[in-house]
């Protein structure tokens, strides 16, 4: 009896050692929009699969079924590894690489669009920023935080925490990037720049050439506040919104921009606005456009690609704040009362690209 047991034990060990490895592992890759990659795989005799997408420090993770997806947030070349397992330690593997470009992430810079002239008859160029070099000029101040404690959510229930690091200058462009990341108790970061205390303007023409981001809850803006805001609270200081876009896939969102005034009328908040939209199937993310105002002591006129689409008279004592100096602001907000919050359709990061800002004074 002891001899029989010994024989059976050896036989069982021999059977256990004959692990059958999977065969014919086939991997296919589908690169989708905004950094999304889907990978499908099959193998004969596989009990389960593990997949890694080639990011730093990542280990192959167990997946359910025969496909997996991943969204990259940084450009680069990544090696995707698929393992078809018989047991945890017995497997075959296949590797494939994927290149993620800035364009794949929605961060590419368009190579076409409208450009405005560097001079206009009857005007002289008084100030400009072409965003050359590698750093912002001293004319810009970065605002930091979420507006708290005095103006939490920046007065609009916005969701982002502003950081200096989200604004950069590269290849002749100002790049403001909104990211889905936690900081300061907020789930998103972005940047907001202003010329307050550095440059102020009163009347003239302002041109801003830019390519806008897109998506639900994305809110880029070029605007102005009265230099008197430190002593005259909003809205009595006046606000001129040169361009705002509330992002989203629906018609009238990613393809529409707004020009607005905010002011005080004898203690009552007052606002007036106009808007314009692009043609069929076009959005402001596709190419560069020039957003402008022509500001006189009588009217403010809004233009898109040098075509006027809205005008508001500013004569009379009730709107005298618009005959005082203003400073510029550029920001990319996430969420808020007007655009609403991001949803499952919103991809991050999002990028606002500014080619130049030019201010002309009447001669």
The catalytic residues are: 239, 244
- Cα gap 242→304, rounded to integer Å: 10
Q: Is 285 helix (H, G, I), strand (E, B) or coil?
A: coil
What is the per-residue DSSP string for 43-88?
Answer: EET-SEEEEE---TT---EEESTTEEEEE--S-EEEEEEEEEESSS
Best CA proximity match to 116, nearest among 105, 108, 128, 104: 128
Task: Report strand pairing: 239-244 vs 218-226.
Answer: antiparallel
**d(C-alpha 226, C-alpha 106), whole Å:** 34
In this structure, the number of other CB atoms found within 10 A of the CB of residue 325 comes to 13
With tokens 């021999």, the residue in question is: 14
Length of the chain: 363
Give the C-alpha separation, 176 to 189, whole Å. Answer: 10
> Of the candidates 245, 241, 194, which has an alpha carbon nearest to the alpha carbon of residue 352?
245
d(CA 260, CA 274): 6
241: which 2 tokens?
A: 């919104």
Which residue has tokens 């991001």? 342
Question: What is the H or E stretch that residue 340 is in?
Answer: none
Cα–Cα distance between 123 and 207 in angstroms, integer? 13
Yes or no: say if 289 and 304 are a contact pair by the CB < 8 Å rule.
yes
């Amino acid at each position: 009896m002891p001899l029989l047991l010994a024989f059976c034990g050896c036989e069982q060990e021999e059977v256990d050692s004959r692990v059958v490895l999977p065969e014919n592992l086939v991997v296919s890759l589908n690169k989708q929009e905004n950094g999304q990659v889907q990978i499908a795989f099959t193998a004969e005799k596989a009990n389960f699969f593990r997949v890694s997408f080639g990011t730093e420090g990542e280990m192959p993770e167990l997946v359910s079924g025969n496909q997996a997806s991943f969204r990259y947030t940084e450009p680069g070349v990544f090696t995707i590894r698929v393992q078809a397992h018989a047991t945890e330690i017995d497997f075959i593997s296949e590797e494939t690489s994927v290149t993620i470009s800035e364009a794949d992430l929605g961060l590419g810079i368009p190579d076409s669009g409208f450009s405005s002239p560097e001079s206009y008859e009857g005007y002289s160029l008084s100030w400009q920023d072409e965003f050359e070099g590698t750093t912002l000029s001293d004319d810009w101040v970065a605002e930091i935080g979420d507006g708290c404690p005095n103006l939490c959510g920046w007065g609009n229930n916005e969701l982002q925490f502003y950081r200096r690091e989200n604004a950069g200058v590269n290849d002749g462009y100002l790049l403001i990037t909104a990211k889905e990341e936690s900081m300061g108790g907020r789930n998103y970061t972005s940047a907001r720049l202003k010329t307050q205390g550095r440059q102020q303007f009163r009347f003239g023409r302002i041109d801003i050439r830019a390519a806008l981001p897109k998506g639900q809850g994305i809110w880029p803006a070029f605007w102005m506040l009265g230099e008197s805001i430190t002593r005259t609270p909003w809205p009595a200081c006046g606000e001129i919104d040169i361009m705002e876009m509330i992002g989203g896939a629906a018609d009238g969102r990613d393809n529409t921009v707004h020009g607005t005034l905010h002011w005080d009328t004898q203690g009552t908040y007052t606002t007036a606005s106009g808007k314009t939209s692009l043609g069929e199937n076009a959005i402001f993310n596709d190419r560069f456009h020039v957003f402008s105002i022509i500001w006189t002591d009588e009217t403010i006129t809004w233009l898109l690609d040098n075509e006027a689409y809205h005008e508001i008279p500013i004569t009379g004592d009730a709107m005298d704040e618009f005959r005082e100096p203003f400073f510029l602001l550029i920001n990319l907000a996430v969420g808020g009362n007007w655009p609403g919050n991001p949803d499952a359709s919103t991809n991050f990061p999002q990028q606002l690209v500014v080619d130049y800002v030019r201010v002309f004074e009447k001669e």
